[in-house]
Chain A
Amino acid sequence: MSDQHNMRLSLKIWRQANTQSKGQMVDYDLDGVSPEVSFLEMMDQLNEKLIKEGKDPVAFDHDCREGICGMCGVVINGQAHGPEKETTTCQLHMRKFKNGDTIVIEPFRAKTFPVLKDLMINRSAFDEMIKAGGFVTVNTGQAPDAHTILVPKGDAELSMDAAQCIGCAACVASCKNASAMLFVSAKISHFALLPQGQAEAQTRVLSMVEKMDELGFGNCTNEAECEANCPKNISISNIARMNRQYLCAAATHPSK
């Protein structure tokens, strides 16, 4: 095997017992980390060591470890998902680090995402915003033949670019205002670019934006940190599209 157990790391990790308690940074040394393993496999290695020493392992969220479920995500040396562009924490590999490196690991922080334990956070606010209108109202069985709805290839591609969002919340964690506008605008764009999304386009943007504000997410001040840290390369042009849609809906929708 190609394992070369040759890296020694100093880790500084946020430890917090639960939502109510106060957390703190704790230092750990970890030896024998292969450059071939993923960041989370390095964390597994640390946890096995802690368990064997009778200590409490570090809790972190993860599931598919293929960069698609959106469950994982920590701030690594100040960057959401770490240094590699367009890469989730689970797909980041230790070859991006050097022997002797100090790595600071923190949860995605935002008022709207309470810490559950250590690096695990509660992101249910994202579900709440989808509930507010992130869907096409069509019941099972109502659909006509798929080819009665034609979608120009360019629109389908743009819609897919937005729909790729994995809901990891790195955008919120990267934003100094803890704004969720990249996430919300990606969902709004996904539907706004398709004919299927038109019937509810105005109510969708009004109600999702209203919910976003109500939950306490901040506003966008155009610094594009969200785009820079998005593992799926979601473009901030979606925010502009959402703002246009919102403006138009706010001015013309009968409820306004």
Chain B
Amino acid sequence: MTIKKLDGKVPGGSIQDSWNNHRFKLKLVNPANKRKYRVIVVGTGLAGASAAASLSELGYNVDAFCIQDSARRAHSIAAQGGINAAKNYTNDGDSIWRLFYDTVKGGDFRAREANVYRLAQVSVNIIDQCVAQGVPFARDYGGYLSNRSFGGAQVSRTFYARGQTGQQLLLGAYSALMKETALGKVTLHTRSEMVNLVMVGGKARGIIVRDVVTGEFTKHVADAVILATGGYGNVFYLSTNAKASNASAIWRAHKKGAYFGNPCYTQIHPTCIPVHGDNQSKLTLMSESLRNDGRVWVPSKVGDKRNANEISEAERDYYLERIYPSFGNLVPRDVASRNAKLQADQKKGVGPSGMAVYLDFRDAIKRDGVNVVKEKYGNLFDMYERITAENPYQVPMRIYPASHYTMGGLWVDYNLMSNIEGLFVLGEANFSDHGANRLGASALMQGLADGYFVIPYTIGGYFADYKPDGLKTDHPEFEKAMHESTDHFKRILQVKGKRTVDDFHRALGKIMWDDVGMSRSAKGLGHALKEIPAIREEFWRDVRIPGTGQEVNVELEKAGRLADFLELGELMALDALERPESCGGHFREESQTKDNEAMRDDEKFCHVAAWEWQGEGTKPLRHVEELKFENVKLAQRSYK
């Protein structure tokens, strides 16, 4: 096999016109013909729900699937801080170009320029759409929309609904989805997990689904399959993701031939509540918006264990403000996380474990008063107090980085189609827009951009050259895929070992966090590449699943997902090893400037790595897509 140079199919011409020209050139499907097509959408978060609703509105028949009991519960709901849009309502110098520029730079020059430009362009339509749906965004006294600032930007372009922006945007997309479901154009399948992709004639034509209540497997056929199943942050076991968030849909597609783009690009979010102990099941994020008013610090003296309020101003090190005077506490996430780790490594961390830094609101409360701070962040402060039993109005919050988002995902071209024809990938599940680091408030923007404003056009372009052929689920390929899946779950049940699924997941998570986390080295990655297969082998020898496959069996569901994480974790380590440069969230200890900033190697690594599965036990192939920066000049990032 030879290495391929992938074509992202970026339209020619100036970047400002490329999406408009492309939309005009895409062929159209006549409205009467649209009803002859069926589309499967897996996942009902922002990307999936918005895509399913928008495609249904156009006239396509849609089958939508989610693992939760309602489409409204997808993990987009947990996004707190906000959504970016280049509206320039604040008159502070924002523009589509600036949002594009900030996002390319924030991603450390590892995203596809044309995708990012399109994202910035449609960002303004997203806000319009959400307002029309009745999303109750924060407003000023005049009734106009209010904005706040987020990391990696010097303008206020973030729209928000208290600390629950993701919830309100998702309820908007969910309500659009339910409107279409009521019309009978969308069929919604809840508590349903995709366990396999069905390929017919080299095209994605359906999926195999497991009903998590009855354990029944069903076959679903369509003319195109859209995966909008989110990221794989749970590979670290402890993360800010929901417990059921998983990589199985994209991993099964990967094993059917879809390339996996930049698996090592993971985002470790700087402001999460620190780990309390061994029985911890997940980590809770504190919105980045808190860094608007909260000041990050540690004691200047190593090993200073006094209470925060006893440490005088002169004895505090506001290290982000000191090192990055122009962005201060609002540096991008990767920079903030890495600096927190550096403080902990130097034994300046705070709290019982020493694995935390302070996020202090004392000065904001002094300046603006408790009520102003309460109005902005009240629900976040309450949540912090519920979890930690400490009152952040009186003592500074303790925070530490945690796995949060994955920039990597299935490789897609400009049309959001993977290398498999008819398989589209949206939102966090794809690799496309955030490069090596995502800026705050950009995930919601990308999910909704993909679903509301990109896929409705690009899927038409695909269907215009494709005729529905009346394929049925009795085709042998469906039978084959069905058998693969039922056998896989049978195999898990037959192990009948001694250790629990969580036990194995914690073991994998520890290796991933230590060796493939915030800081990576050839030595650590080598260790991970040895350890992960060993854990996987042990899993298949010794996992214990109680009960049967024909009933509610939560352990079996978890085991299915972990089996995939145990393979994906290895690919992440391999990708990290074969990218010896540092970029964004991927920090290789061997490649840093003298003041510990990430140092890219644009000569050799200004490309996307897209991995092709070669079967179990065989090293996957690393294809590349070269990245060209014609509009934003390649430069070492600086937030100083």
Contacts and interface: CB of A to CB of B under 8 A. Distances in A.
Given A44-B279, A68-B78, 10 more contacts: A38-B281, A56-B546, A64-B243, A68-B164, A131-B182, A138-B133, A140-B176, A146-B131, A163-B161, A196-B131
B466 interface: no
A197 B134 contact: yes
Contacts of B166: 68
Given A45-B279, A64-B75, A167-B72, A140 B134 contact: no
Interface stretch (B2-10, B431-439, B550-558, B632-640): B550-558
A69 to B, nearest CB: 4
B281 A40 contact: yes
22 contacts: A50-B546, A52-B544, A54-B546, A59-B552, A63-B242, A64-B242, A116-B552, A117-B552, A123-B70, A124-B70, A130-B178, A135-B179, A140-B129, A146-B128, A147-B145, A149-B131, A156-B143, A160-B161, A163-B136, A167-B72, A190-B134, A191-B134
B179 A137 contact: yes
Given A66-B78, A160-B161, A194 B134 contact: yes
Nearest to B159: A146
Contacts of B188: 127
Interface in A44-90: 44-45, 48, 50-52, 54-57, 59, 61-71, 84, 86-87
B137 interface: yes
Given A69-B78, A131-B182, A136-B132, A146 B281 contact: no
Contact of A71 (B73, B134, B174): B73
A87 B453 CA distance: 37
A63 B244 contact: yes
B596 interface: no
A177 interface: no
Contacts of A86: 382
A57 B132 contact: no
A11 interface: no
Nearest to A122: B69
Contacts of B178: 127, 130-131, 134-135
A213 B133 CA distance: 26
A36 B243 CA distance: 19
A196 B275 CA distance: 43
Contacts of B54: 139-140
B138 A156 contact: yes
Given A65-B281, A194-B134, A143 B546 contact: no
B143 A150 contact: yes
Interface in A154-179: 156, 159-160, 163-164, 166-167
A36 B277 contact: yes
Given A142-B132, A156-B137, A194-B134, A64 B70 contact: no
Given A55-B546, A139-B57, A190-B136, A71 B179 contact: no
A178 B507 CA distance: 44
Interface string B169-186: 001001110110110000
A34 interface: yes
Q: Which of B128, B134, B281, B383 neighbours the largest number of chain A CB atoms within 10 Å of its CB?
A: B134
B551 A66 contact: no
Contacts of B68: 63, 69, 71
A30 to B, nearest CB: 12
A146 to B, nearest CB: 4
A64 to B, nearest CB: 4
A22 interface: no
Interface residues of A, number: 81
Contact of A131 (B144, B145, B181): B181
Interface in B136-158: 136-145
B143 A152 contact: yes
A64 B280 CA distance: 14
B53 interface: yes
B132 A127 contact: no
A241 interface: no
A51 B555 contact: yes
A143 B278 contact: no
A164 B53 CA distance: 22
Interface of A: 1-3, 17-18, 34, 36-38, 40-41, 44-45, 48, 50-52, 54-57, 59, 61-71, 84, 86-87, 91, 93, 95, 116-117, 120, 122-124, 126-127, 130-132, 134-147, 149-153, 156, 159-160, 163-164, 166-167, 190-191, 194, 196-197
Interface range for B:
35 or more
B500 interface: yes
Given A48-B502, A64-B78, A140-B452, A69 B242 contact: yes
Contact of A146 (B127, B387, B389): B127
B555 A67 contact: no
Interface string B60-82: 00000000111111010110000
B546 A51 contact: yes
B266 interface: no
Contacts of A56: 546-547
Contacts of A37: 276-277, 279-280
Interface of B: 50, 53-54, 57, 68-73, 75, 77-78, 87, 89, 125, 127-134, 136-145, 161-162, 164, 166-168, 171, 174-176, 178-179, 181-182, 188, 190, 213, 242-244, 275-282, 284-285, 352-353, 382-383, 386-387, 389, 452-453, 456, 498, 500, 502-503, 544, 546-547, 551-552, 554-555
A147 B386 contact: no
Contacts of B500: 48, 51-52
Nearest to B188: A127
A135 B129 contact: no
Contact of A41 (B53, B242, B280, B546): B280
Contacts of B141: 153
A122 B387 CA distance: 28
A81 B546 CA distance: 28
A166 B77 CA distance: 10
B279 A87 contact: no
A71 B167 CA distance: 13
Contact of A61 (B69, B161, B162, B167): B69
A18 B551 contact: yes
Contacts of B452: 140
B305 to A, nearest CB: 14
Contacts of B352: 1-2
Nearest to A51: B500
A144 B281 contact: no
A166 to B, nearest CB: 8
A45 B77 CA distance: 27
Contacts of A57: 546, 554-555
Nearest to A146: B131
Q: Which of B275, B281, B352 neighbours the largest number of chain A CB atoms within 10 Å of its CB?
A: B281
B129 A132 contact: no
Nearest to A71: B73
4 closest Cβ pairs, A-B complex: A150-B143, A3-B277, A135-B175, A143-B132
Contact of A91 (B139, B383, B551): B383
A163 B544 contact: no
Contacts of B72: 70, 127, 130, 167
A191 B171 CA distance: 12
Contacts of A93: 386-387, 389
Contacts of A146: 87, 127-128, 130-131, 145
Q: Which of B127, B136, B503, B547 neighbours the largest number of chain A CB atoms within 10 Å of its CB?
A: B136
Nearest to B69: A123
Contacts of B167: 68, 164, 166
Contact of A140 (B57, B145, B554): B57
